[in-house]
Amino acid sequence: MILIDDPDDDRLAPFRLNERGLTNRPQRRDDGGDGLFMAEGDLVVQRALDAGCVPAMALVDALRPPALTQQLAGRCEVFAGGERLRAAVTKLGMPYTVVALFQRPLRIPAAELAANCRRLVIAEAVDNPVNIGSIVRNALAMGWDGLVVDATSADPLARRALRVSMGHALHLAHARTTDVPALVRSLVQQGVVVCALTPAADAVPLDTIAPADRMALLVGSERAGLTQQAMHAATHRVCIPMHTGVDSLNAAAASAVACWQLRP
């Protein structure tokens, strides 16, 4: 470990970068694995290591370094500092005992991922990283095996998304597409049953849909919902029946209900 007592030390500059500094927009949209992501906390860092991600550098608690510090030290530079230093650098009021920067992993193309999944979630315009992180965790917990996000959805490896998913975003295969309707049409042609979630009154109740061998779930923006093009490309437009006065759940909660109902 390299002990540091100055939060302005230039060696810690990468930990002060925001999301765009770690990975710019072209890098997030590229499948080539360029850029960095930040893992926060020993559980998320360990899951990143278990997923085969390559650490670039780490910052740990100088007084109580976590058990995985030695594992990191064998692969990258590990800096250590006190609580105030780590809070100042990471901008977290209660800093984790470890944060680490990792190289972004390669990502397979959306069409290839979709072709190999029995249960696939497709997110269109879900721009809140908390929702994306929750959708990842819900999907994996219910036995789903893939996620495709569109160009306007949040990055599954964003700090908040990764934290909310408890690191599971590194263990659920994900891809990015620029054309959700085209992807949906392709899946339907392959025999995949695609269910588009909508609060529309004329939608089919979710619990009337029989689980099929291969299924995909379309989840849209909480404000505008799915585009008409995406919904019309789907096999079914489905709703979660609600009591009077509530028209819908938020995107993450709706995904949990639907992933459970349509689980393999």
Mean pLDDT of 36-61: 96
Mean pLDDT to the nearest integer, 163-174: 94
pLDDT of residue 13: 94
CA atoms within 13 A on the CB side of 206: 23
The percent of residues in the chain predicted with pLDDT above 70, rounded, is 100
Residue 71: is it exposed, middle or buried by C-beta count within 10 angstroms (0-12/13-18/19+)?
Answer: middle
Q: What is the mean pLDDT of the chain?
A: 93
Per-residue confidence (pLDDT) for residue 77, from 0 to 100: 97
| Alpha carbons 87 and 99: distance in angstroms, whole number | 11
Compute CA distances 137 → 39, 76, 174, 252, 259, whole Å: 16, 28, 12, 9, 11
Average pLDDT over residues 51-64: 96
Residue 145, Cβ neighbours under 10 Å: how many? 16
pLDDT score for 227? 95
Q: For residues 222 and 198, is the Cβ–Cβ distance under 8 A?
A: no
User: Per residue in 81-130, pLDDT tens?
Assistant: 999 999 999 888 889 999 999 999 998 999 999 999 999 999 999 999 99
Q: Are 123 and 226 in contact (CB under 8 A)?
A: no
Sequence-ordered list of residues with C-beta below 8 angstroms from that of 1, at least 6 positions apart, any chain: 60, 62, 65, 69, 73, 78, 79, 80
| Rounded Cα gap, residues 116 and 147, in angstroms | 12
- List the 2-3 sheet strands across, edge first: 2-3, 77-81, 55-61, 98-103, 36-40
CATH of 2-103, one of 3.90.1660.10, 3.40.50.920, 3.40.50.970, 3.30.1330.30: 3.30.1330.30
pLDDT score, position 25: 78
Q: Which fold has domain 110-261?
A: Alpha/beta knot (3.40.1280)
The domain ranges of the chain are 2-103, 110-261
Give me the DSSP letters along 186-238: HHHHTT-EEEEE---TTSEEGGGSPP-SSEEEEE-BTTTBS-HHHHHHSSEEE
Cβ-contact 252, 134 below 8 angstroms? yes
**Amino acid (one-letter) located at 130:** V
Neighbouring C-beta atoms of residue 240, cutoff 10 Å: 18
Model pLDDT for residues 181-196, shown as the tens digit of each residue: 999 999 999 999 999 9
